[in-house]
Structure 1
Amino acid sequence: MDATETVGARIARYRKLRGMTQEKLAAAANVSRSMLAQVERGHSSASTVWVGSVARGLGVDSSRLYGSEEAEQVLNVLPILRRSLAAVDLADPDLEPLPLDQLRALSGKVAVWRRDARYRKITEVLPDLIDQLLIAGEHGQPVYGMLCAAFRAANTVAHKSGFTDLSLTATERMEWAATRSGDPLLLATTHYVKSATLARVGASGQALRLLLRAMSEMEAFVDEDETAAAVYSLLHMRAGTIAAAAGDADAARSHLAEAEVLARRFGDRIVYDSPVGPANVKLYQVCAEVDLGEPGRAREIAAATHLPDEMPAERKAYFWVDAARAHLLAGDVDAAVDALAESRLASPEHFRSSPAVKNVIRTTAQQQRVAGHGLRALANAAGIQD
């Protein structure tokens, strides 16, 4: 296994090619210099939002920092995504429409597959589902809600496959559909998704402005509406992790504390196809504390977190990857390997497709010096060749 090609190693290489010191790059990317040094040395593995900020500071696409993986799988997914996102006003007029109940059932399945990281299942049906929904305009606003969910699934697959441009297109399509759905909470949820996409390409300032605007627009009815409070908490969680990637500890913890207070009102459940509740807030807190360079806080939160059985597989997988990042930053390589094994158990497909997982594995291997059998098996499961 090539343990030298971590994101940190690539960042250091691009930084030196551009004649930048760590101080200069940290200032350009709006991240902390200490965290940058930890990532470059292979002592830490950063979040996708943090990497997006550094990529912007270097003037490169973030995909350059992750490298390319699984070319055959990528080539298979690419035409499916392009067809799914091609247009919203050029539907085939000769297409035989499916009954609304059938479309609703398939849309529900796609939403579950997205939350459980069943990406291959999504790509099998997504283009045809979107085609069908685009000709189902006679059913009005409910169809636009299903279209928004379909475009969200496209965004997830695009992100996991490393297609940043298609991920941005998918979130624009989500916004288009959500606006036509007449549901302000669906639109706010779309902004929660879109802000992450913006942050991953280094547009963290725009992402935070989008989130703050969305919060302002729904503030008036949060106290009376439990579902609105749940969506509001999502916006705070996202703002918290984006602020953390920028090294703003006060803002990050303030947003996450507000999300935690709100979460006590509605508990752990799914709202607008998104997990919400106290357990989910803990997951965001772990991610934020690692990006803030506080492994002790992150590990303490992770150790006290109970993942509900009904929590989507993708969120469980993310939690264990962030826990592994915390252990790495603390220098506990064995615990990092154990956490990576839990992430694989939670969602094998997410484990294999996620660039973030591959980077954590490579960073772990760099710290372990000689990769043990357990780490090598995880590397093979993630598609990293010896």
Structure 2
Amino acid sequence: MRHTVQLSRYLLWLLCLAVPTQAAEESLEPYQPRFGRERPVVAVVGQNRMTELADYVVPLGVLRRSGHAQVLALANEAAPIELMPALSLRPDASIAEFRQRFPQGADYLIVPAVHDSRDPLLLEFIRQQAALGSTLVGICDGVLPLAHAGLLQGRRATGHWYSRSQRLKDFPDTLWQEDRRYVVDGALMTTSGVSAALPASLALVEAIAGHIRASTLAREFGVASWSPEHHSQGFALGAQGYLTASGNYLARWRHERFAVTLHDGLDEVALALRVDAWARTFRTQVYGVAPHTVRSAGGLAFVPQRDGAGLPALPGRQMDAARAIDEALDGIAGRYGEATRRLVAAQLEHAPAGSVNPVKGQIELHSP
């Protein structure tokens, strides 16, 4: 009996220790000013050839519009970035120019999913910023450059569900986490699939500017919560998903091209999420059209890809960021069918509000 009581007390003690740790482990430490800076310097770095659209644009838009950080869009070269799967953006500076301007480094370095996760220039830059004390943020499979840079050994991290098997094989010494929208391990933050960019960016705003500012900004985007709760193991393409993707891709006669009109002051966060969804159907190409380069609400420089002549407008309408993906998925289902909607939702790792998770059997009610 005495041993049973002692064991019960020991388990209770462990539980008491574990509860606050779990609550805190997905929260970044509040920003501590360095080098006499009034605001933190945040660098979002991509590759000129194929950087994931929402991974790159959403953190830039959210953090710039917070008004509490100096946020720079970087690329390997000072030339337009070809975003994947659509649109083009002119960066603020190249990696080399950023190094000259900020020799002490960034306070936060955000890395989206890129075409080449082993790019030597990118990996060298990531290692340098880590050595200078930057907090590292990998959005979606932006975790892969961090891993290839050798910065994840023994660390907790996550990534897009699609890369799970490869990550486990290539980086067995990383403590890969499941069912989290974002994972925080000290000065390291990583996220799950594409749709996690918005809640993770709000979590960053909370660390930099506090909960009240993050809450106010979340309301502007229509977001009720930026909780890390998520059921990533419920996503998969399956045989039907691959059949839908290949069928859509091979049926070239059914492919469509659409124009999305770019204009000064546009909501870049909602735009990125909406276009990212439509351009993943394997039937749709989306082009940004405008007579000249335009500046978004957050000051991002979108570069037009065509003049738009002869192209129909992208179906649907611009919604606030929290509803952008659901609105796009509804339009996709109406135009291409339910199977294509599921294909796109899986790629974005997005469970529409009110949907039943296929693995957990639970209702998803959180914001994207």
How does the TM-score come out when normalised to structure 2?
0.28
- Structure number with the bigger relative contact order (C-alpha 8 A, sep ≥ 6) is 1
| TM-score normalised by L of structure 1 | 0.27
